[in-house]
Amino acid sequence: MRNPFHARPAPPGAVRDEPPDPGAPPHRDTDRAGHSLRAPSRLHAFNRYEIKYLVDSAAARALRDEFARRMDLDSHGGDTGYGVWSVYYDTPRLRFYWEKIEGLRFRRKLRIRHYGDRFAVTDDTTVYVEIKQRVNRVTQKRRIALPYRLARDLCDRRVPVAHDESQRAFVEEVLELVCGLDLRPVAMTGYQREAFVGRAADTGLRVTVDHRVRGRDRDFHLGADAQNRLIVPAKLSVVEIKANERVPSWLTDLAARSNMSVVRISKYCQSVEAFGQAPRSVFHVVADDPAADLSPTTVTSEA
């Protein structure tokens, strides 16, 4: 049967990721194409607020002790945490990257994510195809679990995959994105994560601490025996607070006592810039940047 999504053309009158007008920022599209693709879906797994902090490793150890005292360890990670590996998709002109850098009120990104040992990834390994989007200050994420071979069929080969009826809208949305915007793998990130979940009155709260944030710009198979490079200085960890409605007072007080302040950083953007796919933005954290030597203060970011 003919695949209705394979090599699907852009909407009538659309220009697919064409170069911008002279003098315009390099991410600007000159048409209205993609507006329908960028509209928020009615189906969301959750809405939440996210704040990230880039923290000196010594300060991170003290923070972990406080998190462990007031929160529970994520049952999936145990005492040592777990690996998180993601392949990010973007247009040839890095539309999603530039939307993030400019801080558009609505922005979106597509990725395939694996939790655990990347060297254990096979075609049958369960991975997640995720759409993560920002609407004003709220982060929304939806995903489906698929065997890795089917995730690549969907995102790389643009082939519809088997799904139940509840997943139909999401699968069609992914196909609309990869076909309509001509998405392809652009960057990979990986790190070791320790995760904590709220208890009692803090149900819905989640805090993660990510170490050794690495990336690469090629060999995008999750299980590839490929070299990764640090894209955030090894002496820094990314601490992220995720809350459905509010951040509890004890956590805001902890941030204040630790001199934690908010700036923007993105692991995806760090990877893009670290490998020279885009100029380093004002948000880039450079390994030899004196401003990155934060002890015990922090630099934070939006999702």
Find the mean pLDDT for residues 257-282. Answer: 89
pTM, two decimals, is 0.80
Q: d(Cα 119, Cα 82) in Å, to the nearest integer?
A: 13
pLDDT at residue 162 is higher than 90: no
Residue 249 domain-assigned? yes
Total residue count of the chain as it appears in this document: 303
The answer to whether the beta carbons of residues 92 and 185 sit under 8 Å apart is no
Residue 2 domain-assigned? no
Phi-psi region of 200 (alpha: psi -120 to 50; beta: other; left: phi over 0): left
Find the mean pLDDT for residues 68-96. Answer: 92
DSSP letters along 30-88, please? Answer: SSSTTHHHHSPPS--SEEEEEEEEEEEHHHHHHHHHHHHHHSEEPTTTTTT-EEEEEEE
Residue 40 domain-assigned? no
- State pLDDT tens for residues 211-251: 999 999 999 999 999 999 999 999 999 999 999 878 899 99
Residue 59 domain-assigned? yes
Residue 25 domain-assigned? no
Domain encompassing residue 208? 46-301
The CATH number of residue 212's host domain is 3.20.100.30
Residue 36 domain-assigned? no
Nearest to 66 by CA among 291, 252, 200: 252
pLDDT at 77: 75
Residue 20 domain-assigned? no
Instruction: Tell me how many domains the chain contains.
Output: 1
Query: Average pLDDT, whole number, for the chain?
Result: 81
Least confident of 8-17, 50-59, 110-119, 280-289: 8-17
Q: d(Cα 152, Cα 267) in Å, to the nearest integer?
A: 22
pLDDT at residue 296 is higher than 60: no
Residue 169 domain-assigned? yes
Q: d(Cα 245, Cα 273) in Å, to the nearest integer?
A: 33
